[in-house]
């Protein structure tokens, strides 16, 4: 299978560093619907991996299975493995809450809590009972790293709902990094933002590479090309058993290879804008 | 050529073919129904408030609002309305002690913890409970809760509080009133908690919150105005409820907040007094309107607060 070979080729070239996260034979079902089929991916430390592909190809489903967010959907079911530092996070003894503390998430639509800016950032450390010397230092640090501090430092007690969409999304990133996760999952974080706010988030992601492993789902191919180190291309095919739509991983490689010299014709068609 | 085709076409009719009288009649009838209910309500309010000038010409305004003995039917009557207002507040307070935690707990369970099947069974049951006739609750209070309290009263409590209640007690009425308003409190609170966007919950789970933390730190604060609206509506129902207090709270106008004594809530006073025996034009007759108007004002204000809170909640997310 193509995905398998490209994954192996990829691991060979960089295999010296064990990946932070990996999926092996990952299948996700929603009830009877087989959403993604046999995905094998490795996510390397302090890199940005982009998951791209047309709508309905299962890239968000894959992302949400990486920190067990799919557990919240009653009909969702998973086969295969998702490993985090070698441990399968779907083993029965694993607590999804512990998983999510280490693998944070930023969503498509900014979703600040109806609380003050300060309390939004402090929420994670508080619920996880993190040992913090000074909460205000941690909040400042997180907001600085999310490139939002200068804009909100005089209004920390103000409601998060008073911020613009782009500011709210940076607040959500600050909120995610306040708990010092290891991996940050971003589900189309810029799709609700204007180009200027998008540029700010992209700069931020590039900065955050120094500390975090990031995995981003995006519809924007230029964005994937600009910020990611590796890219996985998914597409929606037809299930041979029942003829229903099913998401498949087509190709996974360095971003430059995916965009300039893809192995698969469908990848080339997609990245050059001929379909999708 | 083209002009001929155009003129050949049958003329286009845009004028109504009939005046559609039936539709107009239905529209008129529907409008009438909507207006009639408003007019009737206004009529009731006027009927309640119009005897007030007569009442206050007989009873001093200051006596009504600043003394606390209630005996309008005695030979030397006294009209201290605070007595029965406190009677109402007494019962309402015990009702709230029961209904707030139980109602909020039920709402949190239904909206955050219950599986789809549990919810499907419990929510309709809760809503059906709202329709149980209040007299049934009254009988339940009188025949079940009152003896239960009397037999199990914590007599080790200090002072008068240690005395077991008699046949009538504010506590028994309050507890049953509380049980009665749990469905109201729970179903409004649950509605507003379910309306909290899924994205907020996901955001909280994504930061490593437990279910309890998502419920108490994110969903409840986000739905707070709706939850408070449910509380206020529950309070307003408790204040206005008559049957339970009539059967269980008693008829002695003791001005007290103690649960083990008999009190006379405002509605119970009206219920006991406004019978066939009352003669129109007496002081007592007018007293009913004064108490009724005060009661109306209290519940009206409560409902306005509740509506304002619900509206504020909607604005936040729509």
Pair of tokens at residue A199: 């540029």
pLDDT in tens, B99-122: 999 999 999 999 999 988 999 999
Whether A6 has a pLDDT exceeding 70, the answer reads: no
Whether A13 has a pLDDT exceeding 50, the answer reads: no
Domain span including residue B120? 58-317
**Nearest chain B Cα to A180, which residue?**
B207
| The pLDDT value given to residue A147 | 87
Residues 276-305 of B with CB under 8 A from A: none
Report the alpha-carbon distance of residue B250 to residue B91 in Å, rounded.
11
Contacts of B205 in chain A (CB under 8 A): 69, 72, 100
Whether B204 has a pLDDT exceeding 80, the answer reads: yes
As a whole number, mean pLDDT of residues A147-167 equals 92
User: Looking at B9, B30, B50, which one is the last position of a domain?
Assistant: B50
Q: What percent of chain B clears pLDDT 90, i.e. is strictly above it?
A: 61
- Beta-bridge partner residues of A214: A48, A184
pLDDT in tens, B179-188: 999 999 999 9
**Closest CA relative to residue B130, chosen from B99, B173, B93:** B99
Q: B24-31 long-range CB contacts below 8 Å, 24 or more apart?
A: none
CB spacing of A114 vs B204 below 8 angstroms: no
Mean pLDDT of chain A: 88
Same domain for B127 and B248, yes or no, is yes
Report the alpha-carbon distance of residue B282 to residue A145 in Å, rounded.
78
pLDDT in tens, A176-232: 999 989 999 999 999 888 888 899 889 999 999 999 999 999 988 899 999 999 999
Same domain for B114 and B96, yes or no, is yes
| The pLDDT value given to residue B8 | 64
What CATH number is given to the structural domain containing B283? 1.10.3720.10
Report the alpha-carbon distance of residue A183 to residue A88 in Å, rounded.
15
Mutate to test the interface with B, among A111, A174, A177, A187 (most CBs of B within 10 A): A111
The sign of the dihedral angle between the CA atoms of A44, A47, A52, A56 is positive
Same domain for B176 and B271, yes or no, is yes
Residue B5 belongs to some domain of the structure: no
pLDDT in tens, B117-151: 999 999 999 888 888 999 999 999 999 999 999 99
A104: nearest CB among B202, B207, B221: B207
Q: What percent of chain B clears pLDDT 70, i.e. is strictly above it?
A: 95
| The pLDDT value given to residue A78 | 93
Which residue do the tokens 């990946």 mark? A19
pLDDT in tens, A105-146: 999 999 999 999 999 999 999 999 989 899 999 999 999 988
Contacts of A111 in chain B (CB under 8 A): 197, 199-200, 202-203
B208: nearest CB among A115, A128, A172: A128
Same domain for B186 and B289, yes or no, is yes
B202 in contact with A, Cβ within 8 Å? yes
Residue B88 belongs to some domain of the structure: yes
Residue B95 near residue B181, CB atoms below 8 Å: yes
Same domain for B33 and B67, yes or no, is no
**Nearest chain B Cα to A75, which residue?**
B116
Residue B43 belongs to some domain of the structure: yes
Q: How close does chain A come to B172, measured CA to CA in Å?
A: 40
| The pLDDT value given to residue A55 | 86
Same domain for B139 and B23, yes or no, is no
**Closest CA relative to residue A170, chosen from A220, A120, A130:** A120
Report the alpha-carbon distance of residue B138 to residue B84 in Å, rounded.
19
B113 in contact with A, Cβ within 8 Å? no
Same domain for B188 and B277, yes or no, is yes
CB spacing of B207 vs A101 below 8 angstroms: yes
Sort B37 into a burial class: Cβ within 10 Å, 0-12 / 13-18 / 19+: exposed
Same domain for B35 and B169, yes or no, is no
Domains delineated in chain A: 2-110+185-271 (3.40.50.300)
Q: Which residue has the higher pLDDT, B224 or A12?
A: B224
**Nearest chain B Cα to A121, which residue?**
B207
Whether B4 has a pLDDT exceeding 90, the answer reads: no
Q: Which residue has the higher pLDDT, A95 or A239?
A: A95
Residue B8 belongs to some domain of the structure: no
Residues 220-239 of B with CB under 8 A from A: 221-222
Residue B14 belongs to some domain of the structure: no
Contacts of B204 in chain A (CB under 8 A): 113, 123, 127
Same domain for B117 and B139, yes or no, is yes
Per-residue confidence at A11, pLDDT binned at 50, 70, 90?
Answer: very low
B219 in contact with A, Cβ within 8 Å? no
| The pLDDT value given to residue A90 | 95
Report the alpha-carbon distance of residue A75 to residue B42 in Å, rounded.
52
A113: nearest CB among B115, B203, B210: B203
Residue B111 belongs to some domain of the structure: yes
Mean pLDDT of chain B: 89
Q: How close does chain B come to A162, measured CA to CA in Å?
A: 12
CB spacing of A104 vs B201 below 8 angstroms: no
Residue B11 belongs to some domain of the structure: no
| The pLDDT value given to residue A263 | 92
| The pLDDT value given to residue B317 | 58
Residues 236-265 of B with CB under 8 A from A: none
Report the alpha-carbon distance of residue B204 to residue A111 in Å, rounded.
9
Written as one string, the DSSP assignment of chain A is -HHHHHHHHHHHHHTTSPPSEEEEEEEEEETTEEEEEEEEEEE-TT-EEEEE-STTSSHHHHHHHTTTGGGGSTTEEEEEEEEETTEETTSTT--HHHHHHHEEEE-SS----SSBHHHHHHHHHHHTT---S-HHHHHHHHHHHTT-HHHHGGGTTSBGGGS-HHHHHHHHHHHHHHT--SEEEEESTTTTS-HHHHHHHHHHHHHHTTT-EEEEE-S-HHHHHHH-SEEEEEEEEE-TTT--EEEEEEEEEEHHHHHHS-SSHHHHHHHTTS--
Tell me how many domains chain B contains: 2
**Closest CA relative to residue B155, chosen from B252, B250, B260:** B260
CB spacing of A97 vs B221 below 8 angstroms: no
Contacts of B203 in chain A (CB under 8 A): 107, 111-113, 172, 175
| The pLDDT value given to residue A9 | 37
Same domain for B309 and B247, yes or no, is yes
pLDDT in tens, A45-55: 899 999 999 88
Helix (H) or strand (E) holding B300: helix B283-317
Report the alpha-carbon distance of residue A163 to residue A155 in Å, rounded.
10
Contacts of A107 in chain B (CB under 8 A): 199, 202-203, 206
A111: nearest CB among B203, B210, B316: B203
As a whole number, mean pLDDT of residues B272-295 equals 89
Interface of A with B (CB under 8 A): 67, 69, 72, 74, 97-98, 100-101, 104-107, 109, 111-115, 123-124, 127-128, 161, 172, 175-176, 179
Whether B313 has a pLDDT exceeding 80, the answer reads: no
Same domain for B267 and B286, yes or no, is yes
Same domain for B147 and B168, yes or no, is yes
Helix (H) or strand (E) holding B186: helix B170-194
Per-residue confidence at B17, pLDDT binned at 50, 70, 90?
Answer: confident
pLDDT in tens, A251-266: 999 999 999 999 999 8
């Amino acid at each position: 299978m193509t995905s398998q070979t490209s994954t192996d080729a990829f691991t060979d070239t960089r295999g010296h560093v064990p990946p932070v996260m990996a999926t092996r034979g990952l299948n996700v079902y929603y009830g009877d619907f087989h959403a993604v089929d046999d995905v094998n991916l490795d996510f390397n430390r302090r890199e940005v991996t982009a998951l791209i592909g047309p709508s309905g190809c299962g890239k968000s489903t894959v992302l949400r299975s990486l920190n067990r967010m799919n557990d919240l959907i009653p009909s969702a079911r998973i086969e295969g493995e998702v490993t985090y530092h070698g441990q399968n996070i779907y083993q029965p003894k694993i607590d999804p809450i512990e998983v999510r503390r280490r693998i944070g998430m930023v969503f498509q639509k900014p979703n600040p809590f109806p609380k003050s800016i300060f309390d939004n950032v402090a929420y994670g450390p508080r619920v996880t009972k993190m040992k913090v010397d000074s909460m205000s230092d941690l909040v400042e640090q997180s907001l600085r790293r999310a490139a939002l501090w200068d804009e909100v430092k005089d209004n920390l007690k103000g409601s998060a709902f008073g911020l613009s969409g782009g500011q709210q999304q940076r607040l959500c990133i600050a909120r995610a990094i306040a708990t010092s996760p290891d991996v940050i999952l971003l589900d189309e974080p810029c799709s609700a933002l204007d180009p200027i706010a998008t540029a700010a988030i992209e700069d931020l992601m590039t900065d955050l590479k120094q500390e975090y492993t990031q995995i981003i789902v995006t519809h924007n191919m230029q964005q994937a090309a600009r910020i990611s180190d590796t890219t996985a291309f998914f597409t929606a095919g037809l299930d041979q058993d029942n003829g229903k739509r099913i998401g498949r991983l087509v190709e996974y490689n360095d971003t430059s290879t995916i965009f300039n010299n893809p192995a698969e014709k469908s990848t080339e068609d997609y990245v050059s804008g001929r379909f999708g | 050529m083209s002009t001929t085709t155009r003129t050949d076409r049958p003329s286009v009719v845009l004028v109504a073919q009939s005046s559609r009288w039936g539709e107009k009649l239905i529209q008129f009838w529907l409008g009438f129904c909507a207006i009639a209910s408003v007019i009737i309500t206004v009529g009731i309010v006027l009927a309640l408030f119009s005897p007030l000038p007569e009442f206050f010409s007989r009873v001093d305004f200051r006596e009504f609002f600043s003394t606390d003995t209630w005996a309008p039917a005695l030979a030397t009557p006294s009209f201290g309305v605070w007595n029965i207002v406190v009677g109402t507040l007494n019962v309402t307070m015990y009702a709230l002690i029961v209904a707030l935690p139980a109602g909020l707990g039920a709402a949190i369970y239904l909206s955050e913890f219950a599986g789809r099947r549990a919810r499907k069974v419990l929510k309709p049951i809760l809503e059906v409970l709202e329709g149980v006739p209040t007299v049934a609750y009254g009988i339940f209070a009188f025949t079940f809760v009152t003896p239960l309290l009397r037999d199990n009263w914590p007599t080790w409590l200090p002072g008068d509080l240690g005395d077991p209640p008699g046949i009538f007690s504010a506590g028994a009425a309050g507890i049953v009133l509380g049980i009665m308003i749990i469905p109201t409190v729970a179903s409004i609170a649950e509605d507003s908690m379910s309306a909290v966007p899924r994205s907020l919950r996901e955001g909280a789970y994504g930061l490593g919150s437990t279910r309890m933390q998502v419920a108490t730190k994110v969903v409840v604060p986000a739905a707070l105005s709706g939850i408070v609206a449910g509380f206020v509506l529950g309070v307003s129902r408790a204040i206005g409820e008559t049957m339970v207090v009539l059967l269980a709270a008693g008829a002695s106008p003791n001005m007290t907040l103690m649960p083990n004594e008999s009190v006379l809530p405002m509605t119970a006073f009206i219920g006991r007094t406004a019978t066939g025996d009352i003669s129109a034009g007496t002081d007592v007759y007018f007293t009913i309107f004064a108490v009724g108007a005060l009661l109306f004002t209290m519940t009206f204000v409560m409902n306005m607060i509740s509506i304002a809170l619900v509206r504020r909640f909607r604005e936040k997310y729509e």
